[in-house]
């Protein structure tokens, strides 16, 4: 494809898997058997439960942003600006929640803080109670999980932002008579604004699309994601379409509002000096206080992981009323590896996530070449298309794919893929595209464009240039994007629950059915395996 | 004149309707070194990129040895290129960089021999195993040259080859580069915006301005016999005064006096002209063009004086004690050139 049509093929493919399915859902929500209708949307609007769910989604997301920010931002400051014993180790620990896939984090919280979890048992034992003093239930429980898993965004973005601030800016403020507090308010925070806005956007979108926590802990508390899946499972398709449209709309509005916040007053600092070095805490009390607090916090963060490992060692049916499990074996891992039906979900998840990752990376490399190197006319469209799936909540995407690919109509680009082995990898792939493309495009932008020309002038064709120059130089970006994509696909729950079949069931679905069968040991063992593979992928992805 | 190896004919490249390179026709003989000299935006880099095949001309042809290569892909053109920022592959060693263009052509032993031969040529024996990031700027430049020469290209292209080196290193590198090019006798085209570099490296210099070729020739030709007002003022120092052409090879300057002038361009008697004079072709005299010395810049025993003659300024090179700032002086001319005033 040459000239003005270069890039058209990728644009069409992306449009077909990203935009088209969502557009079909929106169309379905205003189309009935008798043509155009507002009946479904009206039915949605008449239902108080729907409004409650919409409101629930919205305020939970806003509250998640606030909570995550309150924890993550100060933590970022402490770790970037203060020097105290254990800073390095703890600084790495603080990012730990990131290796827990959403559903795994949720069940770890269940085992830890749930009504029959370790903490409740300890308190019952301590005070001689017959019943758990609380239930992990409703909005509070959801927010707890969200705060735990999403503060990491604020923490990492704050640290990255602080590391970019020139020390001389702070010094200039001080020399102009600004005290520490005023410097923070007038200089540091405004300079951090783009990073904080980005973290807020990421947190808001993640919370809005969050499914695992409301699904497990929600009880009577309604949010849109669980509402959609419930409608779909109940067979009320028109309602599911209307709900999906509503959630997609909220996501779009949230994206636009928050993105504008970030851009409105984002400033570009001139000069690129070195950031201020971390200040050592000199007073012994402050030093030991910071260290002690840091370790307490680190242990709190690590508890869910430890809980998961401990529970995974509990044989089926041995742990009843005791404070801690009476028996530990590797039996759960044994059955997981030896029973074909138990191994199946593991194999499924690994191959589906691998296929999706390879596909997403191929799309990302293709997009990078067209957008950055060739600068084709359609580059703006392509760049938008590869980032769009990120703003589409997983549930919306799943319903959209389920709608688009359950009909055979090749002349409008629709085939029956639902129920086949293709649909889940495809869903993972679409969700992975922004992760892979974000990383790979950033990598492409750092490449000197004349390297490509140098290879060409030395006689290397397009494929040799890709293999011998581009890919090796993009290796860190490809590994980082690929690792993130692989971990996301491996732990996916939100799209899987809509699209899986018994044959293609992934790990997350098996965790859910183990939980339902009260086989908590098996559920935890799957969780540990997921956690380990995700952590391994992250290590590979961040290695230089 | 030797047979031209590389020939550009009517080469034209437009960006958004604007001609970056406009009807460019140039010949480079086998083994010749041609400098493309011009200010930024003159089209010299675009010309080089057209030669390399990174850009496609809207019109015109490029031939090598009589064969049309205008639309040949860069990879199949067998032109070596040294990039302004070298574009060394950062993930490869020095030797791997140099060997990059040799893959698939020779066997491994032959390749290795060629790599060490090239490294020896640029005086980097024993550096093969190092990562390119461990080299200094000058060494990187030499690796870039070795890499471009290794596959035995038909033509070597260099984009501002010395612009990234500090001034002290620049002169030495220039000598070495000149020696290396002479040793292998490769046909070379390079781009520069510095005339000193153009004259020192190139045996002929093509002066470009706004995409057009102004003049091509040796350093002496360009300096002594500039074809256009642009070349006269761009190459070397010169002052420009307005005047009218008179009969008998003269020009009456707006300042009042009449000077003898040479007219390389077509100028009719009575036509307005731009009269160009070099600082060394003017001297202080008892009578002649009158003016006031406004500035004196010392260059050791000699100095450049700026003389305000009322309708412009003239730069004069003379001995330091020839005049003082503020003094009223008269100027006599030894040689001046007149060009059409509205030359494009």
| Residue B126 distance to chain A (closest CA, Å) | 23
A460 contacts B83? CB cut-off 8 A: no
Q: In chain A, what residues touch B54 (CB-CB under 8 Å)?
A: 453, 456
| Mutation target among B81, B144, B154 for the A interface, most CBs of A within 10 A | B81
pLDDT, tens only, B39-89: 988 999 999 999 999 889 999 999 999 999 999 988 888 999 999 989 999
Handedness of CA A335, A338, A342, A343 (dihedral sign): positive
Nearest to A457 among B74, B88, B90 (CB): B74
> What would you measure as the largest C-alpha separation in chain A, in angstroms?
81
The label of the residue with tokens 């504008």 reads A260
CA nearest B75 in A: which residue? A459
Report the Cα B9 to chain-centroid distance in Å.
Answer: 20
CA nearest B148 in A: which residue? A458
A457 contacts B77? CB cut-off 8 A: yes
Q: Where are the alpha helices (DSSP H) in B56-130?
A: 94-99, 108-121
User: Mean of the per-residue pLDDT values for chain B?
Assistant: 90
How far apart are alpha carbons A295 and A89 in whole angstroms? 10
pLDDT in the model for residue A219:
80
A459 contacts B79? CB cut-off 8 A: no
| Residue A499 distance to chain B (closest CA, Å) | 43
| Residue A485 distance to chain B (closest CA, Å) | 25
CA nearest A460 in B: which residue? B75
The label of the residue with tokens 């039915």 reads A43
Pairing of the two strands A82-83 and A279-280 = parallel
Instruction: Provide the 8-state DSSP code for A430.
Output: H
| Residue A266 distance to chain B (closest CA, Å) | 32
Q: In chain A, what residues touch B88 (CB-CB under 8 Å)?
A: 454
Nearest to B74 among A448, A451, A456 (CB): A456
C-alpha separations of B117 from A57, B143, B183 in Å: 70, 12, 13
| Residue B75 distance to chain A (closest CA, Å) | 4
What is the interface pTM, i.e. ipTM, of the complex? Answer: 0.79
Dihedral pair phi/psi, residue A369, rounded to 5°:
-65, -45
Among A residues 436-475, those touching chain B with beta carbons less than 8 Å apart: 448, 450-451, 453-461, 464, 468-469, 472-473
B79 contacts A457? CB cut-off 8 A: yes
Contacts by B295-299, CB closer than 8 A, 24 or more apart = B295/B325, B296/B323, B296/B324, B296/B325
Q: In chain B, what residues touch A455 (CB-CB under 8 Å)?
A: 89, 100
C-alpha separations of B285 from A145, B290, B292, B303 in Å: 94, 10, 13, 16
| Residue B67 distance to chain A (closest CA, Å) | 18
| Residue B243 distance to chain A (closest CA, Å) | 49
Q: What is the Cα Rg of chain A in Å?
A: 25
Contacts by B210-218, CB closer than 8 A, 24 or more apart = B210/B22, B210/B41, B210/B42, B210/B43, B210/B344, B211/B19, B211/B20, B211/B21, B211/B22, B211/B24, B211/B42, B211/B43, B211/B46, B212/B22, B212/B23, B212/B24, B212/B43, B212/B344, B213/B24, B213/B25, B213/B26, B216/B26, B216/B34
CA nearest A451 in B: which residue? B87
pLDDT in the model for residue A504:
93
A458 contacts B101? CB cut-off 8 A: yes
B81 contacts A457? CB cut-off 8 A: yes
| Residue A171 distance to chain B (closest CA, Å) | 33
A451 contacts B101? CB cut-off 8 A: no
Question: Pick from A439, A442, A473: which is nearest to A455 by CA?
Answer: A473
pLDDT, tens only, B317-327: 998 888 889 99
pLDDT in the model for residue A4:
67
Residues of B with CB under 8 A from a CB of A: 52-54, 73-81, 83-85, 87-91, 100-101, 103, 147-148, 151, 157
Q: Contact, B241 vs B275, CB < 8 A? A: yes
Question: Pick from A356, A354, A508, A504: which is nearest to A430 by CA?
Answer: A356
Nearest to A451 among B76, B84, B89 (CB): B89
| Residue A447 distance to chain B (closest CA, Å) | 10
Mean pLDDT, consecutive 10-residue stretches, chain A (544 aa), reads 74 93 90 84 88 94 95 88 81 80 92 88 87 85 93 90 80 77 82 87 92 89 92 89 91 84 55 66 79 84 92 85 83 89 93 96 94 88 90 92 91 88 95 92 89 90 90 91 91 93 94 91 93 87 69
Q: Contact, B148 vs B81, CB < 8 A? A: yes
How far apart are alpha carbons A13 and A444 in whole angstroms? 21
A457 contacts B89? CB cut-off 8 A: no
Those residues whose C-beta lies under 8 Å from the C-beta of residue B13, and which sit 6 or more positions away, are B19, B20, B21, B43, B46, B50, B55, B56, B57, B58
B73 contacts A454? CB cut-off 8 A: no
pLDDT in the model for residue B1:
45
Q: In chain B, what residues touch A469 (CB-CB under 8 Å)?
A: 89
CA nearest A470 in B: which residue? B89
Dihedral pair phi/psi, residue A178, rounded to 5°:
-80, 135
pLDDT in the model for residue B344:
45
Q: In chain A, what residues touch B75 (CB-CB under 8 Å)?
A: 456-461
Instruction: Provide the 8-state DSSP code for B321.
Output: G
- Write out the two tokens for A516: 């339902």
A473 contacts B90? CB cut-off 8 A: yes
| Residue B14 distance to chain A (closest CA, Å) | 16
pTM of the full structure: 0.82
Helix (H) or strand (E) holding A285: helix A284-312
Nearest to A451 among B74, B80, B87 (CB): B87
How far apart are alpha carbons A185 and A494 in whole angstroms? 40
Handedness of CA A195, A200, A201, A206 (dihedral sign): positive
How far apart are alpha carbons B327 and B299 in whole angstroms? 20
How far apart are alpha carbons B30 and B65 in whole angstroms? 9
B246: exposed, middle or buried (C-beta count within 10 Å: 0-12, 13-18, 19+)? middle
Q: Contact, A386 vs A11, CB < 8 A? A: no
Report the Cα B138 to chain-centroid distance in Å.
Answer: 21
CA nearest A461 in B: which residue? B75
Nearest to B87 among A450, A460, A461 (CB): A450
Q: Contact, A543 vs A475, CB < 8 A? A: no
pLDDT in the model for residue A396:
93
A451 contacts B151? CB cut-off 8 A: no
A51: exposed, middle or buried (C-beta count within 10 Å: 0-12, 13-18, 19+)? middle
- Is A177 at the interface with chain B, CB within 8 A? no
B79 contacts A453? CB cut-off 8 A: no
| Mutation target among A457, A470, A472 for the B interface, most CBs of B within 10 A | A457
| Residue B101 distance to chain A (closest CA, Å) | 5
Segment B197-223 shows an average pLDDT of 93
Q: Contact, A152 vs A95, CB < 8 A? A: yes
pLDDT in the model for residue B108:
83
Chain A to chain B Cβ contacts (< 8 Å): 61
């Amino acid at each position: 494809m040459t000239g003005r049509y270069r890039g058209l093929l990728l644009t069409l493919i992306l449009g077909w898997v990203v935009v088209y399915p969502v557009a079909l859902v929106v169309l379905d929500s205003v189309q009935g058997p008798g043509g155009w209708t507002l009946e479904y949307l009206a039915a949605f609007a008449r239902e108080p439960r729907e409004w409650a769910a919409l409101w629930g989604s919205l305020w939970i997301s806003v509250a998640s942003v606030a909570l995550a920010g309150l924890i993550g931002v100060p933590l970022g400051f402490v770790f970037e600006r203060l020097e105290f014993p254990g800073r390095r180790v703890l600084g790495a620990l603080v990012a730990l929640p990131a290796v827990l896939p959403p559903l795994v984090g949720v069940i770890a919280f269940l085992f830890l803080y749930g009504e029959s979890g370790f903490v409740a048992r300890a308190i019952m034992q301590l005070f001689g109670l017959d019943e758990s003093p609380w239930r992990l239930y409703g909005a509070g429980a959801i927010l707890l999980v969200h705060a735990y898993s999403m503060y990491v965004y604020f923490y990492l973005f704050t640290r990255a932002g602080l590391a970019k601030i020139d020390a001389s800016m702070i010094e200039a403020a001080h020399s102009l008579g600004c005290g520490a507090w005023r410097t923070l308010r007038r200089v540091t925070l405004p300079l951090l604004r783009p990073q904080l806005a980005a973290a807020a956007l990421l947190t808001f979108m993640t919370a809005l699309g969050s499914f695992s926590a409301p699904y497990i802990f929600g009880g009577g508390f309604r949010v849109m994601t669980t509402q959609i899946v419930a409608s779909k499972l109940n067979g009320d398709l028109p309602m599911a379409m209307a709900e999906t449209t509503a959630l997609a709309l909220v996501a779009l509005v949230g994206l636009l509002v928050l993105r504008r916040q970030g851009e409105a007053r984002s400033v570009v600092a001139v000069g690129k000096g070195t950031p201020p070095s971390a200040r050592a805490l000199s007073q012994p009390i402050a030093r030991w206080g910071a260290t002690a607090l840091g370790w307490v916090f680190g242990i709190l963060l690590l508890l869910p992981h430890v809980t998961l490992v401990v529970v995974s060692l509990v044989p089926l049916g041995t742990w009843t009323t005791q404070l801690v499990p009476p028996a530990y074996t590797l039996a759960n891992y044994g059955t997981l590896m030896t029973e074909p039906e138990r191994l199946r979900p593991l194999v499924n998840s690994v191959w589906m996530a691998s296929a999706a990752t390879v596909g997403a990376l191929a799309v990302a490399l293709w997009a990078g070449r067209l957008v950055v190197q060739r600068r084709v006319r359609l580059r703006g469209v392509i760049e938008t298309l590869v980032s769009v799936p990120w703003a589409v909540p997983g549930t919306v995407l799943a319903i959209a794919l389920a709608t688009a690919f359950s009909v055979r109509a090749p002349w409008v680009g629709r085939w029956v893929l639902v129920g086949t082995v293709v649909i889940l990898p495809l869903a993972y792939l679409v969700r992975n595209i922004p992760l892979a493309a974000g990383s790979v495009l950033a990598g492409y932008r750092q490449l000197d464009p004349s390297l490509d020309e140098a290879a060409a002038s030395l006689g290397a064709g397009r494929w040799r240039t890709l293999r011998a120059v581009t890919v090796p130089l993009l290796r860190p970006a490809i590994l980082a994007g690929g690792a993130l994509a692989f971990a996301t696909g491996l732990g996916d729950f939100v799209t899987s629950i809509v699209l899986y079949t018994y044959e293609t069931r992934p790990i997350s679905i098996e965790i859910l059915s183990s939980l339902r069968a009260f086989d908590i040991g098996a559920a935890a063992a799957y969780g540990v395996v997921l956690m380990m593979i995700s952590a391994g992928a992250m290590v590979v992805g961040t290695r230089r | 004149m030797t047979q031209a190896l590389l020939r550009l004919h009517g080469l034209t490249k437009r960006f958004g309707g604007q001609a970056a390179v406009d009807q460019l026709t140039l010949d480079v003989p086998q083994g010749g070194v041609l400098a493309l000299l011009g200010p930024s935006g003159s089209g010299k880099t675009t010309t080089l990129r057209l030669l390399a095949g990174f850009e496609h001309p809207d019109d015109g042809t490029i031939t090598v040895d009589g064969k049309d290569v205008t639309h040949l892909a860069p990879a199949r053109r067998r032109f070596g290129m040294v990039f302004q920022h070298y574009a060394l592959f950062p993930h490869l060693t020095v030797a791997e960089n140099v060997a990059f263009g040799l893959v698939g052509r020779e066997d491994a032993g032959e390749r290795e021999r060629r790599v060490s031969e090239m490294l020896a040529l640029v005086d980097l024996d024993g550096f093969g195993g190092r990562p390119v990031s461990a080299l200094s700027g000058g060494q990187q430049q030499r690796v870039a040259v070795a890499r471009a020469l290794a596959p035995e290209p038909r033509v070597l292209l260099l984009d501002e080859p010395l612009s990234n080196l500090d001034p002290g290193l620049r002169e030495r590198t220039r000598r070495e580069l000149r020696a290396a090019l002479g040793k292998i006798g490769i046909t070379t085209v390079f781009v520069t915006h510095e005339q000193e570099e153009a004259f020192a490296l190139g045996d002929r210099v093509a002066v470009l301005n706004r995409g057009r070729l102004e003049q091509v020739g040796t350093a002496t030709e360009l300096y002594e016999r500039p074809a256009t007002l642009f070349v006269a003022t761009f190459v070397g120092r010169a002052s420009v005064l307005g005047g009218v052409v008179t009969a008998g090879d003269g020009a009456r300057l707006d300042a009042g006096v009449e000077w003898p002038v040479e007219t390389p361009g077509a100028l009719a008697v009575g036509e307005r002209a731009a009269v160009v004079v070099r600082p060394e072709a003017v001297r202080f005299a008892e009578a002649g063009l009158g003016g006031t010395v406004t500035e004196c810049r010392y260059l050791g025993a000699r100095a450049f004086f700026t003389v305000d003659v009322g309708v412009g300024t003239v730069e004069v090179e003379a001995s330091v004690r020839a005049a003082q700032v503020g003094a009223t002086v008269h100027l006599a001319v030894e040689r001046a050139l007149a060009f059409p005033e509205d030359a494009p």
